[in-house]
Amino acid sequence: MDPRTTSFLLSLLLIIFFNSPFAASETFNVVSFGAKPDAKTDSSKAFQAAWARACTSSTSASIYVPNGRFYLRHATFNGPCRNDAIDIHIDGTLVAPSDFHVNANSPNWIIFHLVNGVSIFGGTLDGQGAGLWACKRSAKTCPRGATSLEFTDSKNIMISGLTSLNSQIFHIVVNECHNVKMEGLKVSASGNSPNTDGIHVELSSHVTILNSDISTGDDCISIGPGTSNLWIENVACGPGHGISIGSLGKALKEDGVQNVTVKSCRFMNTQNGVRIKSWGRPSSGFARNIRFQHLKMTNVKNPIIIDQNYCPYNKDCPGQASGIKVSDVTYQDIRGTAATRFAMTFDCSPKFPCVGIKLEDVKLSYKNGAAKALCSHVRGTVTGCQ
């Protein structure tokens, strides 16, 4: 064969290989970029340098965080990237500033923006939020706080085996994302820590949360406007405020929530079990096609609740009716114990009553007797409810 032909074919094969899914993945160790596992040296620039290399790689890439405690003041990981397969393997712990003033003007501690195909495996995030919690409990003027981890405007995301401790506010936020899977997560904060939602999802579709343990001072999982096709299964919640759809209806024009399934979850010593909550004022939003199935309640104050008269501090909403339309909500095979006499509350909008509410095989007790229900402006069928 002519040498020029041979050279051309070899070059062509190399081009095909390096642009194929079988091309070798590059691995970038954050220590090689200057990160120090001493819990005091700011490693933010080292982490972002490793990200820059992975993001500009023409093949799939991995970022490795070894054992140790790595202090990150703040980190933003921006896309889009040249490849759509970046794995981040964490054996160590990422530590936030203990001084909450450091990130006082930032809504996030760690954020991924406009990324595709990012997966996080293992590791611990230590948000060190106790100082901010104490400030808020003291009634002093305090910053709002930073979310520990957020993905925004992203798709094809995986978070597996991650532990999040003591976030200043929300632990994990999924915002304007598509196709996100979270599994094997452990989320923990004090039961009296304010606004420390475990996972918050909004304006996102096709999100799955599986096999996770969440204990916080607020909602274990909160579901905001614009969420669709959300699947939650085998989540243990407690302490905390339960799994909540809402608050909805804060804005006059708002995207709705639809196609949500919460299945095979356990609630222990929580304020709520499963809740739908909306502001008591006009809004174009809705919550529909919701399924709560095979749930176990243990000493839960409000195992089942729809509250459409949410009006904190009686500001901007007294005397108004919620515009959120709640429909086609099924409660199936929900059992356990309530911490109050009224285990079920359906306090729906007088202007737009809840419709299509179905209770099937719901058995909740209070002090060895059958718990009771409070119903207002609700329409549906009840079978097997005690």
What are the distances in angstroms from CA 311 to CA 210, 227, 265? Answer: 32, 22, 28
Neighbours of 15 (CB within 10 A): 10
SS3 48: helix
What's the rounded Cα separation, in Å, for the pair 55 and 70? 21
Residue 321 vs residues 138, 243, 249, 308: alpha-carbon distances, Å: 34, 24, 11, 8
C-alpha torsion sign, points 331, 335, 339, 342: positive
CA distance 296 to 199: 20
Which one from 74, 241, 294, 377 is the annotated catalytic residue? 241
* 294 carries an active-site annotation: no
Helix residue ranges, H only, 57-141: 130-137
**Four-residue CA torsion sign, 131, 150, 89, 231:** positive
Tell me the helix, strand and coil percentages in the chain, rounded to 5. 10, 50, 40
328: left (phi over 0), alpha (psi -120 to 50) or beta: left
Known catalytic residues are 241
